[in-house]
Amino acid sequence: MAVSLYAVLTLAVTALGATIAPSNELVENSQCGRVWLTVRSPDVRISATVIVQDVLELNWDFNGCSTVPTQIGLFDEKPLSWMSALSVFLVPSVEGYVVTNMSVGRGTLPAGWENGVGAKGPKCLWPWVGAGDNINIQAYNCLKIQPTWMEDNAPKINNLRIGDLAIAGTHNAGAWRFDTELSQVSRDSFVLCQDRSIWAQLVHGIRYFDFRIAYYEFYGNEDDRYWLNHNLIRVRPLVPLLREIRAFLDATKEVVFLDAHHFPVGFYQQDGTPIRNVHAGLLEIIQRELGPHLAHAGEFGTGPGSKGPTLQSLINANKRLLFSYVDNSIVSQNSWLWPILPHLWANTNSPTELFQYLDAAISMSPQPTARSPLFSAMAQTTPTVLDILFLRGSLRENADAVNRNVTARFASRWRTQANIISTDFFLGSDVVDLSIMISNERASRL
């Protein structure tokens, strides 16, 4: 049954926080196959005058099931009856998705996680999805946060080495909203790559962050000189984001992987020589802000061909932040830094070429000579200069063109070998829940 446009827009504004699952409530269930919710990254035009952001999508995969549901619906509470559905759609194939006309909204994170530590375990935001025949609901799930998924699954996964984990990551993690003296926009075409803050990404279950760090000498205060960029564009100051990571580590037993992937401005001379005092200043800030949680690479046996330490060893030492650094000359002088983390980057604006590249690259990873036990599949396309100059598409449209296939590949072809999957607008995929499932599968084979 459908809802009116008026109801859609009213619920879009007020929906978040309407229903939060108790900690002991089953938030996902299906006897065969799965249903899940994602958030569409591009805007959706509902009418000539109405454009809705962050629209919900209903996804399903019933491959291999003897009975395939005939309909799927959106709910604002745990699906128990079709009478409570906000909207219902036909299921025409064994796998697929449907775009609703309702926004997830911008409410608070549930269960006390908006501004600090909350309840452990997966917690539901307001939207639920259910699928079944026209009488019974046979599968359901909710859009959820996973703030303590490593601790929740500790008995199963703590003996995994970090190179054997499946980890959900974010590409250009700090590019989520401008915070400069020139701009405070929250959406644009070619700079912002995420819709949620670093804190919210952590609470949702992201455990790997791809940081692009720049240095601007014209700021008077040393802390103010370090920024997270998207290439040459300043987006957000670094230190406040490090403090969000510190607060999360203080409040949980989760392990976080922070990657200084690129230094686009201020770290090198024109001939490529590192500016030592700028690198040293960054390392001092990292040690000051995150020091108690830093896992020193030199203290955890790792090397070429190694899968690194187990989660248990990091937790026993209470050193749960691994900081990798893209410059080998700096790593060689600082034994606590983790070495360059290989990034599987296709450097293409074609989704077809992206998946051809990643299929091959993941199948051949990790390389036996890699110094890092980790590797990251950069699961996003890259606009060309001409794309940007002529405003062809946007990062949101690009993400929409690949994120569903990222989910499908992670669940199938990449399932046995992928380590870190880094995406743009991560809520457009199911990488967090899949990383948890796959990590548990791998642990069961130990």
CA distance 257 to 55: 30
pTM, 2 dp: 0.93
Residues 300 and 254 in one domain: yes
Q: Is residue 254 within 8 Å of 248, Cβ to Cβ?
A: yes
pLDDT confidence of residue 24: 57
Residues 136 and 191 in one domain: no
Residues 86 and 160 in one domain: no
Q: How many residues does the chain have?
A: 446
Residues 140 and 156 in one domain: no
Residues 125 and 187 in one domain: no
Residues 91 and 202 in one domain: no
Residues 195 and 172 in one domain: yes
pLDDT confidence of residue 366: 92
pLDDT confidence of residue 361: 98
Residue that finishes a domain, picked among 114, 144, 174: 144
Residues 160 and 211 in one domain: yes
Residue that finishes a domain, picked among 144, 175, 201: 144
Give me the tens of pLDDT residue by residue for the chain, a chain 446 residues long: 333 333 333 333 333 333 333 445 789 999 999 999 999 999 999 888 999 999 999 999 999 999 999 999 999 999 999 999 999 999 999 999 999 999 999 888 999 999 889 999 999 999 999 999 999 999 999 999 999 999 999 999 999 999 999 999 999 999 999 988 878 888 889 999 999 999 999 999 999 999 999 999 999 999 999 999 999 999 999 999 999 999 999 999 999 999 999 999 999 999 999 999 999 999 999 999 999 999 999 999 777 878 999 999 999 999 999 999 999 999 999 999 999 999 999 999 999 999 999 999 999 999 988 999 999 999 999 999 999 888 899 999 999 999 999 999 999 999 999 999 999 999 999 999 999 999 999 999 98
Q: How many domains does the chain have?
A: 2
Domain residues for 127? 5-144
pLDDT confidence of residue 11: 34
Residues 34 and 84 in one domain: yes
Residues 106 and 124 in one domain: yes
Residue that finishes a domain, picked among 90, 119, 144: 144
Residues 183 and 283 in one domain: yes
Residues 79 and 201 in one domain: no
pLDDT confidence of residue 10: 32
